[in-house]
Copies of this chain bind each other. A is one copy, B any other.
Amino acid sequence: MRWSQYFVPTLKEAPSDAEIASHKLMVRAGMIHKAPGGYTWLPLGLRALKRVEAIVRNHMGRLGAVEVCTVPRQTEERDGKPERACIFDYADPSPFMGVARSHIGSYRQLPKVLFQIQTRSTGEPHQRSAMLFPSQALTMDAYVLTRNPVSLYESCHQFDHMLEDLCRLTGLAWFWIGGDGSDDSEIDVEYIAIAGAGEKRIARSDSGYVGIIEHTNVQPYPKEKGPAPGDMRLVDTPGTATVVDVSNLLRVPPSRVIKTLIYLADSQPVAALVRGDHELNEYKLRTQINASALMIADPATVESVTGAPVGFAGPVGLRIPMIVDFAVDAMAWGVTGANKAGAHFVNVVPNRDFPVLRTEDIHLATEGDLDPLQAMPLTFHRGIEVGHVFTLGRQQSEALGATYLDETGNLQYMAVGYVGISLTRILAAAIETSHDDAGIIWKKSLAPFDCEIVAIDVRDDQVRKAAGDLHDALTSRGIDVLYDDRDLSPGIKFNDADLIGLPLRVTIGKRSLKKGGIELKRRTAPDIETVPLPDAPSRIAALVQS
């Protein structure tokens, strides 16, 4: 493809509303055009998106899934005019279930996966960060129709391989965030890819552990050595409302303060103790005590339970159930509220000055905490949801009439699952993860073209002929090549080449021809390799296809 006949409107400056790298780069590289009425994929962006699409379609084919395409009906009239037809809502199962109900009736036809790849509403109410949180995205929606929950669980896990491959090809790490695995018949999980600017907070460690921070359990803390500096005693702390206030007043670090938080767990008051430098993890607390509803207690309840206003609760003498984070249990001594306004206890020793009947992991994991697998230190990252897997409950199957006859001729409800993958997000996340100051750095698998020929001195006949011949030779070998034939300065063309970031740059100019050939440079390395003109096609093919 010759640049002059193509349409790659690169920009020197990123738009002022672009905050994240992938947004800036996709606009600057002429991949997308944004406007108040929506956005448009430009040719280069569309090519990359179609490469993601091809990878997904290929995988779905290998899984035996069959592709369909649902088309909504023109909607009713409104204000006298026919209302415009609408893209299907986020994961609307009804058209798929309609097909299943009409055309699948026997256990012999199951399992069956129906999928489609279409641009549709993501459920994001507003367009944010361009393609990372689009309100409309190219999406693969699959409905997994199976005989029973066990088969469904297995079928849903088959998609893991596709995600693994997609993420390998895009340079993203991924993992499946399950529920707690307590009930196989209910799946509601997300595929998360590690990507800067993602909305999910992720913990990883060198052991291979990776998980949402909120869901990350950590290793118990070792018992702190040494005795308390003295007996427990009451000190006046008037006007201290926070851990920081107490820490400053009493000249102890926040990690020496024990926070006592009063919660209502299924309407019953409980106390949760965490270190002053830790945050209570409500998800963990609720899970550990198996509460259906958990909420922080109102000031009146706190006062009636502790006898003191909010800010002065403490475990000493408290008569409600206490859940003690094991980082608190590991403390040699600490500072706690005294259940009395304007007063704290110092030199409080767990198990001596208050009973520790139940220790749990209830603090929000922090960087440096040790992972649950091999006790390696955790580091924190950002992640983005690229896929979603969930089961449609029995009630839904009944409502949608998804039934089949089993081996014995009895009518059964199918176990139905949904898998959704956002191809748009995967592409944006891949750019977010792989770029430098000069531009995008494409992985070969997603690059919109395999390589770019940059011709310098295009007014020179010899250069133009050599570059044109090479373009044709590569194209006839099935290599996708973008040939920058514009009559512009080398600086502009090299900058554009770095910006659009194809894996291999091939430079042809009077200077390179004088040296006997062309110059090859990979996007990821500064080295330049000079190759004789006749050897160029095979050398380039070898690099592109390696």
Q: Which residues of A are interface residues toward B (Cβ below 8 A)?
A: 5-7, 9, 30, 33, 35-43, 46, 49, 64, 66-74, 82, 84-87, 89, 94-96, 98-99, 102-103, 112, 114, 118-119, 121, 124-127, 134-136
In the assembled complex, the CB of A458 is this many whole angstroms from the nearest CB of chain B, namely 14
**CB atoms of B37 and A135 under 8 A apart:** no
* CB pair A66 B95 closer than 8 Å: no
Contact between A37 and B95, CB atoms less than 8 A apart: yes
Whether A125 and B6, one on each chain, are in contact in the complex, defined by CB atoms closer than 8 angstroms, is no
Q: Is the CB of B68 within 8 A of A46?
A: yes
Q: B residues within 8 A CB of A33? A: 98-99, 102-103
Are B40 and A70 within 8 A (Cβ)?
yes
Bound together, the chains give a CA A497 to CA B367 distance in angstroms of: 64
**Measured CA separation A96–B38 after assembly (Å):** 11
CB–CB B6/A74 < 8 A: no
Q: Quick one: closest B residue to A78, CB to CB?
A: B78
Residue of B nearest to A136 (CB): B71
CB of A252, distance to nearest CB on chain B (Å) = 50
Residues of B with C-beta under 8 A to A66: 6-7, 43
> A6, A9, A72, A118: which has the most chain B beta carbons within 10 Å?
A72
Q: List 7 A-B contacts (CB under 8 A).
A: A7-B66, A40-B99, A69-B119, A71-B134, A71-B136, A74-B125, A86-B86
Shortest A415–chain B CB gap in Å is 19
CA distance A102 to B85 in the complex (A): 28
A358–B32 CA distance with the chains assembled, in angstroms: 61
Contact B41 A95 (CB under 8 A): no
Q: Which residue of B lies closest to A2 (CB)?
A: B64
Give the distance to chain B from A530, nearest Cβ to Cβ, in Å: 33
Give the chain B neighbours of A134 by CB distance below 8 A: 71
Name A4's closest neighbour in chain B (CB-CB): B108
Q: Which residues of B contact A39 (CB under 8 A)?
A: 70-71, 73
Q: In the assembly, what is the distance between CA of A267 and CA of B511, in Å?
A: 78
Bound complex: CA A99 to CA B44 (Å): 14
Seed contacts A40-B68, A74-B126; 19 additional CB < 8 Å A-B pairs: A6-B66, A7-B66, A7-B112, A7-B114, A33-B103, A35-B95, A37-B95, A38-B71, A38-B95, A40-B95, A40-B96, A42-B68, A42-B103, A43-B67, A71-B134, A72-B136, A73-B127, A84-B87, A118-B119
- State whether B103 touches A37 (Cβ < 8 A): no
Name the contact of A102 in the complex, choosing from B9, B36, B121 (C-beta under 8 A): B9
Q: Choose one: B46, B68, B72, B82; the contact of A69 (CB below 8 Å).
A: B46
Separation of A536 and B71 alpha carbons in the complex (Å) = 40
Q: A274 → chain B, closest Cβ, in Å?
A: 38
Cα distance, A125 to B85, chains bound together (Å): 10
Taken together as a complex, chains A and B put the C-alpha atoms of A82 and B89 apart, in Å, by: 11
**Contact status B127-A74, CB under 8 Å:** yes
Asked if residues A69 and B84 are in contact (CB atoms below 8 Å), the reply is: no
List residues of chain B with CB within 8 A of the CB of A98: 33, 35, 37, 40
A114 contact set on B, CB distance < 8 A: 7
Q: Give the 5 A-B residue pairs with the shortest CB-CB distance, closest first.
A: A9-B103, A74-B135, A41-B69, A84-B86, A38-B73
CB distance from A70 to the nearest CB of B (A): 5
* A136 in complex: contacting residue of B36, B74, B82, B126, CB < 8 Å: B74
* Residues B7 and A94 in contact, CB atoms below 8 Å apart: no
Give A313 to B106 CA distance when docked, in angstroms: 73
Q: Choose among A6, A9, A70, A74 the residue with the greatest number of B CB atoms under 10 Å from its CB.
A: A74
Which B residues are CB-close (under 8 A) to A69? Answer: 40-41, 46, 49, 119
User: What residues on B are CB-neighbors of A7 within 8 Å?
Assistant: 66, 68, 103, 112, 114
> A5: which B residues are within 8 A, CB to CB?
64
**Nearest residue, chain B, Cβ from A109:** B7
The smallest beta-carbon distance between A43 and chain B, in angstroms, is 5
Contact status B9-A135, CB under 8 Å = no
**B contact residues around A64 at 8 Å (CB):** 5
User: Which B residues lie within 8 Å of A46 (CB)?
Assistant: 67-69
CA distance A378 to B82 in the complex (A): 39
